[in-house]
Each structure stands twice: as C-alpha cells, then as structure tokens.
Structure 1
Amino acid sequence: MNEQVTVTDTPVKPVKALPNAQTVTAVTHWTDSLFSFRVTRPASFRFRSGEFVMIGLMGDNGKPLLRAYSIASPSWDEELEFYSIKVQDGPLTSKLQHIKVGDELILRPKPVGTLVHDALLPGKRVYFFATGTGFAPFASLIRDPETYEKFDEIILTHTCREVAELEYGRQLVESLEADPLIGEMIEGKLKYYPTTTREESPVMGRVTDHLKSGEIFERLGIPPLDPATDRAMVCGSMGLNKDITEILEAAGLREGANSEPKEFVVEKAFVG
C-alpha cells in the first residue's frame, strides 16, 4: 500500500563532520518504495545536467557506503536533488531511506555520465526513455534551458508498475509551466508520456510495446523514429536499456558517447 506523500523542508545549518559531507535540506516520501531528497551543494561543485555522482553514508564498520545516483536537479540549482528507491536489505538504501533534514551525506566531487547534450548530435526531437528511478537524470534535463534551445520537441516517457510511482515525475512536469526560468520556453515543446504495466491507468503497457506498435506516435501526433531528426537518451532497467537500444538501432539511430556524439545514448553505470 502506498503511503501518503510527506514532505520535510526546513532551513538547516550544515555541519561538515564527514569528508565531502553535505547536509540534507528536504526529504519527500512518495510511496513506500520511493523517495526524493535534497542536499546542500558545494560552491565548487560543477556538473552537466543529466550526470550522476557517487553519494552515500558511513557504514557500521566506519567505511563509506557509496552508490551512483543521477542528479535530479538541473545544473543551475543551488542545491542537489536525488530520487531513490527503498531497498530494505540494500547495503546503502536500507539506511538512506531513513535520512531526515539535518543529516549528512557523503558527496564525491566528480560527476560523470553519458546522458548529456554533448553526447548527442544536433536534432529536431529528443526522446527521454525512463523506467522507475531512471527518471532522475531527465528530471534534471527537462529543467535545463539548453534542452529547449537545442530541440523543438522533447518526448518524456516514464514507465512504472503503479500509478503512484509516476507521481514524482507528474508533479515535476506540471510545475514547469510556472517555472520562472524555463516556463515560457517549454510551451508546446514538452510532451509527457507516462505508462503503467500493472495498475490500471490512461495509458497501459511498456513503452517498448508502444514504440513497436506505433501507438506512441499516434497518441502524440509525431512521425516514427527517423535518424535524420530524432535523438534519444535511455535510463532504466537492464531490460529496458537493451530493448530500447534494439528498437532505436532498427530505426537507424546509432549509439554515441561523450567522445563520439551520435543519435542516442544509454546510461549503463547503474540500473534505475
């Protein structure tokens, strides 16, 4: 059963007792298995929207427990936001899910990642394909002005099992029109396509099935995938990454990287 969304957001004074420590400033529990949190951002910390970074806590043995997390906030944000699953027996997330405002997290200072604009060739339309917490890097990118400067259309897909698991993304998308920085830029450009695979919702099924059947193109009123105009980023389960890659390659798109930009990129550092 899903919990009611709860938010904690109060001013705190950072206390840097740990190396590379940052202070938790807000925590939101979206369901009994998903939560997001914000932490202070070091003045020297620079990243490109879509990148990930190693964060964590001190383990019971006094050694750091670290994991790669996509930064969900855009590069201009004064704080850093993260979106996480709760794994009851997970070495890190079993502890991380209990953080509260004022607690400290370890933040490694070197962000990296493939889901950045520099890894894509110029195009007309960009697809963001996500499952679960793989939504996080796109939460960063859809709040970045560069996304709307580079593309005429942004297709944001998010596939989850249940409706409540879409709530973080839904609320974020709905808030963008009132965003003072990009509100005017997104008008008519951002198309949000959420689907569920278990609980009944307006659009059911895996996004891969919608691509194969052409339903996503019909619903959004856009043409099928075309390597001349379309670009894509993928972040989700290993199954999604593999299946989307096959679909994109069958349509003629090529996988790129920071060092060799092409038509699509896949985040392989972790599974969302």
Structure 2
Amino acid sequence: MNPSNPPTGQSTPEIEELRNKYYNASVMDLRMPHNHLMIVRIKPDEDVPRFSGGQYTTLGLGSWEHRVDGGPLAELEKPKLIRRAYSISCPMLDLQGDLLANDEIDYLEFYITLVLRPDSNDPPLTPRLFRLKEGDRLHLGKKPVGTYTLKPVEPGDHVIFAGTGTGEAPHNSMSIELLKRGHTGHIVSMTCVRYTGDLGYLDQQEQLQKKFSHYRYGAFTTREPENIDENHPSYVGKQYLQDIIQPERFQETFGWSPDPEKTHVFLCGNPSMIGLPEKNQKGELVFPDTKGMVELLTDQGYKLSTPKNPGNIHFEKYW
C-alpha cells in the first residue's frame, strides 16, 4: 500500500503534519441538499472574524486530500494548499424562527456547488470539499474582504438582489443584515437555478417572507418539466432573471414597481446573467450580444457602479 495515498478515513504522520501546518478551522456542520450542493459551517480555531454582508473569504484544502470524484492525489513531496474565495452566506433564521444576525453566530457558513473540471490543469478544490464530514479540518481565510456590501444603501432605499445558483450566498447575509437593522424599503431576493432541488435555502426564505411583508423571495427554474415541456399543464418556459427584471413582469411578480432613483440592484453569479460591457478597440463600452441584467437595467435608468463613478447597479462575478 502506498502510504502517501491512504484509504478513506485513514491518515499518515506526513499528512497529519501537513494538516497541522496549514489548517486552522473545523467543519462544525454540513448539509447536502443534493450530492452536488453543500451548505457548510466552518468554525475557526481563533475568534470568528467579523464581516459585512456580501463579503468573502477563502477556504482551502491540501492537494494531498482525497477527492469525491476519485481523482489522483498529489505527491507529498510537492504539497500545495488549494484555496478559493467564497462569499459568506448565513442561516436566515434560528431554530425559534427569529432573525439570526451575522454577529450572533460562532461560525461562518458557505454555500458551495460541486465543480468537476477533468480537463483543467488547476488543482480542483470542490471535489475535495465534497469529501468533508463533520469534524474534519481545513483552511479558513483570516479576514473577510470585499466591497460588494450594503454601504451605499440608505435606510429607505429599495433593494433588489439577483443571483444565479450559489450566487445567492452573499444576498442571504445582506438580506438578514438589512432586516436586522430595521430597513424600511422594499427588499427582493430573486434567484435562478436549473431545478427546484438546487434551492438550498428555500424553506428558510419562505419563512422569512412570511415574517416581513416588505421582503419577497423569488425562485425561478430553467430545467423543470414546466420549463421545457410545452404540454405541461403549468408550462411557463425557461425563466431567467433577465425576464423577471422587466418592469411589468417585476410588478406582477413582486407587487411593486422599482424606481431607479431610489433602488439599488445587486447582481451575483453567472457573468452571462450580469452582462457587463467591455471596451472595444475604439475605447467604447459595448454590451454582450445577449442582453444581461446590466444592459436591461441601464435601459430602465439605472447606473452601473464603478470605483470612480458610484451608481446603483452593483455586481460580483463568480468566475
């Protein structure tokens, strides 16, 4: 048996030495909505770092750890800590159904999807994360960072969060932060996924909107039978956030009409959904051929926020 490639659940002195050197946190709790989706709570050895809703930090595992896809292990002679940035999510409510603020928990929560890229030369992290179990050790970044926060939002502003897949994660912590501080404007959090089973926070979101009349959650799918089968009795077609942000559709879905002068929109997830413009050879900004949220919102009177020119469209790309 090769001691550098131990069976699942076993270790070696070399591997334990590497773990002691690189790891500074433990898995406190782990929930799998399905085998490609994880909600994991990480407890650091030191104090839990404070963070603002929307910020991110890094998770990491060694190249020597096993992978859920059975991929090869790295040689111990060339150990490497594989790290990646993840937005910090949060539990929406406690066991009594009350708001659970970011500064009231002794762990950090993350919402992660399994990414398998067999042809990539980069050492993949998520196939290793998806082998974790409660009590396992890993690396946690010491300081949450990021400017994708609620800093520009005033108490009476309306806020729209739009995310794809696990891009919902920062919007969870931002929504709770708003509600906990008594925000009075409308709050909408909408997300687009392939299947209903990809909605890891659905139950909590439904409870949350029952508790707060000015908070609404919208979940939209693209691959359920009602999205692709025109003969389905509840056929609606594929539902993308670009469709929902249209003024009439938004009004019909959420019951109010956003005013661009009083509304901030936060976009996180698939770059195609966000649709950022790029400069052409003449230095002009050009939007993608397929309209994304930024172009649609710009057409409605919103302004893309940049470090030099603040606006009310904010974004966080996931790749």
What TM-score, normalized by structure 2, do the two folds share? Answer: 0.70
Q: Deviations over 1:128-180 (max 9, x none)?
A: 001001011012122224665344211110100111112x1212213437xxx
Alignment partner, residue 82 of structure 1? 110
Alignment partner, residue 17 of structure 1? 20
Moved over 6 A (4+): none
Pairwise CA distance, 1:34: 0.9
- Structure 2 CA distance for partners of 1:151 and 1:240, relative to 1, 3 Å: farther
Given the alignment, which residue of 97, 111, 116 partners 2:149? 116
2:153 and 2:313 map into 1 onto residues whose CA distance is: 6
Aligned pairs (5 A) from 1:45-124: 45-60=49-64, 61-73=78-90, 75-76=102-103, 77-89=105-117, 91-120=124-153, 124=157
Tell me: higher relative CO, structure 1 or 2? Use CA pairs within 8 A at least 6 residues apart. Answer: 1
Given the alignment, which residue of 202, 210, 216 partners 1:191? 216
Matched position secondary structure for 1:173 = helix
- Structure 2 CA distance for partners of 1:249 and 1:80, relative to 1, 3 Å: same
Kept in 2: contact 1:18–1:106 (CA 8 A): no
Matched position secondary structure for 1:24 = strand
In structure 2, stretches of 5+ residues that fail to align are 1-18, 65-77, 91-100, 118-122, 227-233, 276-291
Aligned pairs (5 A) from 1:96-175: 96-120=129-153, 124-145=157-178, 149-166=182-199, 168-175=200-207
In structure 1, stretches of 5+ residues that fail to align are 1-15, 178-182
Matched position secondary structure for 2:102 = coil
Given the alignment, which residue of 247, 254, 267 partners 1:234? 267
| Aligned partner letter, 2:201 | G
Alignment partner, residue 34 of structure 2? 31
Kept in 1: contact 2:305–2:313 (CA 8 A): yes
- The RMSD of aligned alpha carbons is 2.5
| Aligned partner letter, 1:249 | T
Equivalences, count: 246
Kept in 2: contact 1:120–1:262 (CA 8 A): no
Kept in 2: contact 1:130–1:236 (CA 8 A): yes
1:232 and 1:240 map into 2 onto residues whose CA distance is: 13
Q: Deviations over 1:176-209 (max 9, x none)?
A: 37xxxxx9xx521110111101104676510111
> Whose radius of gyration is greater, 1 or 2?
2
What TM-score, normalized by structure 1, do the two folds share? Answer: 0.81
Question: Percent identical across equivalent pairs?
Answer: 28
Alignment partner, residue 4 of structure 1? none
Kept in 1: contact 2:48–2:106 (CA 8 A): no
2:233 maps to 1:208: no
- Structure 2 CA distance for partners of 1:47 and 1:108, relative to 1, 3 Å: same
